[in-house]
Structure 1
Amino acid sequence: MVAFTIIYAVLTGLVKKAMDEGMSELVIITLRQLIATIFLSPIAIFKERKTKPKMTREICIYIFLSALLGATLPQYLFFLGMQYTTATFASTFSNLCPVITFLVALLLRLETVNIKNKAGMAKIIGVLLALIGAMVLTLYKGVSLTHKTTHQIRPLHTTNIGINNSPKKWMLGSIALLGNAFSFSFWMLLQSKVTKKYPVVYSGTVLMSFMSFLQVVGLSMAIERRTSIWIPKGKLEIVTVIYAGTATSGIGFVALTWAVQKRGPVFTSSFLPLIQVFVGLIDFALLHEPLYFGSVLGAILLIIGLYVVLWGKRKEVSINSIKLPEANQQQQEYN
């Protein structure tokens, strides 16, 4: 999951630069899903040709919904939101995913919280710390730790609006990014069901990528009629679509699906706020942006919150592993 957050942070910067140079977000998504399908298909055939379960109508519907909620909608909404805002501001909305996933999982009874034990309290405290850290990253700038600056406290959305970003576009971008957070959270919850019905990770990702490709093609034909935009121009656009298809949609979604399969949606979503941290590090190290106290404080709170949630999940697994043999022993004695 840490590797995935680094991969996605790099993608965020590449896509923002490519769209600033005129590349359509629909072209990026379409080519990304096509490349991911081509990239993963040989791996899926080689590794899972003997273990792949029979395709049923139910599994097909699950994978179709998985493609819609996990690839088509969140990508389009994220790129649209980033086009109207900034890469840093867009990445902050990924910080909402753990909270949304946690709350929806509780409502659907996919996640349990026992506030009477340490594990349950740790999960609640960890999610709250991550949320506070996300708010600090978004709203508090603070003093510059690397360059002298006259700006001390300023909301993030007022520091990054460009000349072409009107308040109306910024609001539309924020709504799109909020939709992205909800869509991706629902995808992770759905994926916990999909991996049980269709437990082959590579084949499932290939089918999801291919269905998403078909969905985006249909959306593109309805929105964008120009044929000239479908040919990438320049090294940046070519590198962006290849990286997005192989690293992010290919390797990244395999890692996400595998993490959901092994540890559940709440565990997986807990890592997503790290994207914000790595985007900030990339801005500082490669783009030479100044490092602010608010960024450091928010990142520390996010990481502490993440580790508290992970400790709670690990403690919960330990408690359940102890209770299960005891319950089996009592059942055997009763029998």
Structure 2
Amino acid sequence: MENQQHVSSSGKYKLFVAAVFLQVGYAGMDILAKAALNQGMSNYALVVYRHAIATVVMAPFAAFFDKKVRPKMTLSIFIKIILLGLLEPVIDQNLYYLGMKYTTATFATAMYNILPAITFVIAWILRLEEVNFRSIRSHGKVIGTLATVAGAMVMTLMKGPVLELFWTTGRINHEAAEKNGTDLHDSIKGGVMITIGCFSYACFVILQAITLETYPADLSLTVWICLVGTLEGTIAALVMEKQNVAIWAIKWDTKLLTAAYSGIVCSGLSYYIQGMIMKQRGPVFVTAFSPLCMVIVAIMSSFILAEQMFLGRVIGATIIIGGLYLVLWGKSKDYKSPPSPLIDGQTIEAVDNKDEDMFDV
């Protein structure tokens, strides 16, 4: 019985490790993307190259590993895939990169912390998320959701004094400093773009969870999303950039590294891993870990890009993290492991959770 408890516990840890891995991957992408955009790379071209690379890399794995589990493609599933390709690869990523141009990598990542709140609300409306107002844990979910929104507003509207960090002394990135010092109009413009991108990504995560119920081939779905996203992203690039063919020029530099890294890690592996996590814990669990990305980006940006850190953003980030961990605490009993052997007529989980249930009112 102890061995079975250990297996169940290790399975939970694997989900946490996978969720943390996603955020580490996103943090690396934010740093590289900011550097590539600063060098003049078009966000539209970046989106196209990113998903083209992801399609090429992931397709062989999908062809081999999913051949026995891949269901028949139907019109309903294909329409969902088209929407998935539009919501995240095209709308979300382009708006996110545009918002980053108006602000900084740290600010863009911090604003993205409203993603769990938006996902929570949509999942609640669609009854994919359990909310019982007589339960203390449900109160934690709701209060935590409101706190993330409040924290995001503080980060957008409140600047405060610069925090002097010893590793940035004498090497402040003047371009980043100018972005940090821009007027409120630019901050709000970038914030609005990122917020709309968050809403689009939340819809993507919800729709991906729904699609996996009828098309459970994770790798194949990932390839389809990347392929459709490449095609739709190309159309968007041609429309927005018109006759500017120079945007497609790419060399062996940071731009190519950014496209390759973000394509393989943040599109190919990310869509696949988050799909696997959602099968067990749902879409809100996946997005609840986004504050880790902000922390990692803030540290890496100050070291690599020499970006300034402001007190207002630290306060807002603290509020966001507190709210998100309230949501995570509230969700901790929503998804339980498979039943273990009976102990005096009760499962191991039932015995372990007796005390937790006493807190529900």
TM-score range, shorter chain: 0.7 to 0.9
Q: What SS class does the counterpart of residue 31 from structure 1 fall into?
A: helix
**Aligned equivalents of 2:186, 2:321: Cα separation in 1:** 32
- Spell out, residue by residue over 1:271-324, the C-alpha distance to the aligned partner (whole angstroms, 9 max, x if none): 2233222111112333444656555555554444333322221223359989xx
2:185 equivalent to 1:185: no
Could you tell me whether the CA contact under 8 Å between 1:192 and 1:260 is conserved in 2? yes
Q: What SS class does the counterpart of residue 146 from structure 1 fall into?
A: coil
2:52 equivalent to 1:34: yes
Query: Residue 254 of structure 1 aligns to which amino acid in structure 2?
Result: Y
- Spell out, residue by residue over 1:229-252, the C-alpha distance to the aligned partner (whole angstroms, 9 max, x if none): 312135111111111111111112
Farther-moved stretch of structure 1 (53-62 vs 294-303): 294-303
> After superposition, where does 1:43-54 map in structure 2 within 5 Å?
43-54=61-72
Q: What SS class does the counterpart of residue 179 from structure 2 fall into?
A: coil
2:81 equivalent to 1:68: no
Could you tell me whether the CA contact under 8 Å between 1:102 and 1:266 is conserved in 2? yes
**Aligned equivalents of 1:136, 1:110: Cα separation in 2:** 29
Q: Cα distance 1:140–1:170, how it changes in 2: closer, same or farther (>3 A)?
A: closer
> After superposition, where does 1:123-272 map in structure 2 within 5 Å?
123-138=141-156, 139=158, 141=160, 144=163, 146-147=165-166, 161=179, 170-224=187-241, 225-272=243-290
Q: What SS class does the counterpart of residue 101 from structure 2 fall into?
A: helix
Q: Cα distance 1:178–1:23, how it changes in 2: closer, same or farther (>3 A)?
A: same
2:151 equivalent to 1:110: no
Could you tell me whether the CA contact under 8 Å between 2:151 and 2:316 is conserved in 1? yes
Q: What SS class does the counterpart of residue 26 from structure 1 fall into?
A: helix
- Spell out, residue by residue over 1:167-205, the C-alpha distance to the aligned partner (whole angstroms, 9 max, x if none): 665554333222101111111111121110111111101
Could you tell me whether the CA contact under 8 Å between 2:105 and 2:301 is conserved in 1? no
Structure 1 runs not aligned, ≥5 long:
150-157, 327-335
Q: What SS class does the counterpart of residue 86 from structure 2 fall into?
A: helix
**Aligned equivalents of 2:53, 2:27: Cα separation in 1:** 19
**Aligned equivalents of 1:205, 1:299: Cα separation in 2:** 31
Per-residue deviation, 1:166: 7.2
- TM-score norm. by structure 1 comes to 0.83
Query: Residue 91 of structure 1 aligns to which amino acid in structure 2?
Result: T
Aligned length: 315
**Aligned equivalents of 1:162, 1:275: Cα separation in 2:** 19
Q: What SS class does the counterpart of residue 103 from structure 1 fall into?
A: helix
**Aligned equivalents of 2:159, 2:185: Cα separation in 1:** 23
Query: Residue 163 of structure 2 aligns to which amino acid in structure 1?
Result: S
1:8 corresponds in structure 2 to 26
Q: Cα distance 1:242–1:293, how it changes in 2: closer, same or farther (>3 A)?
A: same
Q: Cα distance 1:114–1:320, how it changes in 2: closer, same or farther (>3 A)?
A: farther
Farther-moved stretch of structure 1 (49-58 vs 230-239): 230-239
2:330 corresponds in structure 1 to 312
2:36 equivalent to 1:25: no
- Spell out, residue by residue over 1:95-147, the C-alpha distance to the aligned partner (whole angstroms, 9 max, x if none): 12111111222222222311212221221233234344444544354563635
**Aligned equivalents of 2:339, 2:220: Cα separation in 1:** 31
1:79 corresponds in structure 2 to 97
Q: Cα distance 1:72–1:162, how it changes in 2: closer, same or farther (>3 A)?
A: same
Q: What SS class does the counterpart of residue 161 from structure 1 fall into?
A: helix
**Aligned equivalents of 1:17, 1:293: Cα separation in 2:** 24
Query: Residue 4 of structure 1 aligns to which amino acid in structure 2?
Result: L
Structure 2 runs not aligned, ≥5 long:
1-18, 169-175, 347-361
Q: Cα distance 1:49–1:136, how it changes in 2: closer, same or farther (>3 A)?
A: same
1:330 corresponds in structure 2 to none
Could you tell me whether the CA contact under 8 Å between 1:73 and 1:183 is conserved in 2? yes
Query: Residue 79 of structure 2 aligns to which amino acid in structure 1?
Result: I
Q: What SS class does the counterpart of residue 267 from structure 2 fall into?
A: helix
Farther-moved stretch of structure 1 (70-79 vs 233-242): 233-242
2:81 equivalent to 1:56: no
**Aligned equivalents of 1:319, 1:13: Cα separation in 2:** 37
Could you tell me whether the CA contact under 8 Å between 1:274 and 1:302 is conserved in 2? no
Q: What SS class does the counterpart of residue 68 from structure 2 fall into?
A: coil
Could you tell me whether the CA contact under 8 Å between 2:167 and 2:303 is conserved in 1? no
Q: RMSD of the TM alignment (CA)? A: 3.1
